[in-house]
């Protein structure tokens, strides 16, 4: 599992109660499509997610964020639209395109008010993460006859257990676990840091490498001896047995290698950021 760090500010329309950080870790290989960043205190600090913003849930329907500007804000789509209007502020509406300005009229006659116009809902603020809901008020032709709806926020994600690097645990409907940073192993008084990329199909771990079908420390066939074991694992320790040539008097001890922590690597790689259409 690997991530590239992408510095520089993401320029997206405004997101209510949330601001994207200046830099984001973008997943590569098995982590492709996953982002890691500091989402702020309300969302639990450092997270990983497949979405750069929270989704909305209305009546059991999940609405995904769309990063195109409507009156300066992003909007949400799915079973209708949630977007910002110049007339009513935030609205929820289906049957029309996002950005449409709803219409609401009324007629007062004989002591009674009759409401006409579009069928839509309004609200003033977004619900807080981790519980609670915002009330959507019926407007237009359903001003009196419609039932209020409840809207909640949802953001399936992984949350850091301890600090920026290390294990991330699943929350808000996500499953499994992930890691940020390169795993650093310890054994025999030295550290072994996993490489960012594979070479000939295998990672390297400092002096630990895959050679001639074996995982080794040192140079196989050396007069001073070497160690043979298996690839280091986050799940437990791996023992590298001291090995020497037949008849050699070299002496050495086995090395037990286990996970110590995760760290930020210093390798660099090219990253594909996106594409644009060129019209002629």
**Residue 175 neighbours by CB distance under 10 Å:** 7
Question: pTM of the full predicted structure?
Answer: 0.80
How much of the chain exceeds pLDDT 70, in percent? Answer: 94
Q: What is the pLDDT of residues 50-87, one digit of tens each?
A: 999 999 999 999 999 999 999 999 999 998 999 999 99
For residue 273, the model assigns a pLDDT of: 59
Q: What is the pLDDT of residues 201-244, one digit of tens each?
A: 999 999 999 998 999 999 999 999 999 999 999 989 999 999 99
Q: How many angstroms separate the CA atoms of 241 and 187, rounded?
A: 12
| Residue-averaged pLDDT of the chain | 90
């Amino acid at each position: 599992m690997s991530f590239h760090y992408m510095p520089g500010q993401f320029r997206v329309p405004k997101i209510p109660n949330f601001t994207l950080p200046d830099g984001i870790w973008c997943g590569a290989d098995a982590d492709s499509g996953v982002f890691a960043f500091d989402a702020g205190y309300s969302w639990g600090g450092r997270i990983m997610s497949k979405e750069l913003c929270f989704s909305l849930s209305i009546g059991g329907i999940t609405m995904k964020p769309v990063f195109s500007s409507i009156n300066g804000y992003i909007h949400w789509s799915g079973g209708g639209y949630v977007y910002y209007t110049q007339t009513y502020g935030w609205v929820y509406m289906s049957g029309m395109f996002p950005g449409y300005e709803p219409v609401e009229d009324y007629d007062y006659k004989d002591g009674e008010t009759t409401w006409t116009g579009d069928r839509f809902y309004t609200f003033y603020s977004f619900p807080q993460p981790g519980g609670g809901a915002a009330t959507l008020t019926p407007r237009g032709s359903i001003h009196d006859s419609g039932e209020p709806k409840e809207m909640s926020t949802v953001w399936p994600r992984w949350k850091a257990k301890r600090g920026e690097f290390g294990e991330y645990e699943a929350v808000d409907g996500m499953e499994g676990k992930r890691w940020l940073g390169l795993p650093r192993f310890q054994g025999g008084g030295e550290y072994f840091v996993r490489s960012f990329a594979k070479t000939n199909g295998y990672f390297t771990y400092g002096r630990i490498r895959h050679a001639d079908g074996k995982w080794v420390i040192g140079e196989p066939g050396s007069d001073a001896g070497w160690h043979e074991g298996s690839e280091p694992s986050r799940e437990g320790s791996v023992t590298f047995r001291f090995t020497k040539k037949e008849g050699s008097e070299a002496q050495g001890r086995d090395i037990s290698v286990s996970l110590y922590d995760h760290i930020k690597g210093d390798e660099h790689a090219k990253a594909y950021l996106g594409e644009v259409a060129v019209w002629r």
